[in-house]
Amino acid sequence: MAAVVKLIPGRTVFFVCDIQTRFRTFIHGFDHVVATGNKMLKLAKVLDVPVIITEQNPRGTCSHAPRSTLGRRALAACAKPSFQPSGPPLHLGTFEKTAFSMAIPPVTALLKQHNFKSVVLFGIESHVCVQQSALDLLQLGYDVHVLADGVSSTRSQEVPIAIARMRQAGAQIVTSESAAFELQTDASKDNFKYFSRLIKEEAERTEQALEVLAAPASKL
């Protein structure tokens, strides 16, 4: 019988993989990836979940547009929620990288320092940086949860194949809302009204992201 892998409140970190402005015109459903990413950052504040962000070679050039730099991240600053978490620092760091995987030394050092067990992973591209990050993190012994409505690639056809590869390797494929409720765990908690309000505010964008991003990801 296979072991049940669950998100662990207090030992979970959100990994934001290379959501950068220069990819906007090349990534399938890019605005939906950004919408999911922004929702997860808002949820991170309400749920007290730390965040690690990477940027893929922001001073380098993009293979799809060699005369343009990749640029900085496209996520907006989060609106300050009414509920103020009191746990660990939300933003543990933003790291530039040339490696495709997010599992670079300063990031893995943070994982060990904070004794994390679960990683919620989203960003781009599904079949490159997201996939290599997932495989490396799994190999290091972390539970990896990939958001089906929070990842994409330049070609939509790449996404379901990458999702299948990560699932086969042991990653959990979940949706942003499923992950959020798993971390919330209980409607009796003090933060629930803020959590519930945020889920309702994001409902339309969540539905759109599921339709554009998660539907192709469920083909295999």
CA pair distance 212, 40, nearest whole angstrom = 18
**Catalytic residue from among 18, 48, 143, 149:** 18
Active site annotation includes 97: yes
Strand partners, 66: none
Contacts 24+ apart (CB under 8 A), 207-211: 208/32, 208/35, 209/29, 209/32, 209/33, 209/35, 209/36, 209/149, 209/150, 209/176, 210/148, 210/149, 210/175
**Catalytic residue from among 17, 42, 97, 149:** 97
Residues 92, 16, 12, 116, CA torsion sign: negative
Two tokens, residue 116: 């994390």
Name the E strands within 117-206: 118-124, 143-152, 172-174
- Determine the 3-state secondary structure of 30 from DSSP: helix
CA pair distance 82, 25, nearest whole angstrom = 34
CA pair distance 63, 24, nearest whole angstrom = 14
Under DSSP, the state recorded for 81 is P
The length of the chain is 220
**Catalytic residue from among 39, 42, 48, 129:** 129
Q: Which residues are catalytic?
A: 18, 97, 129
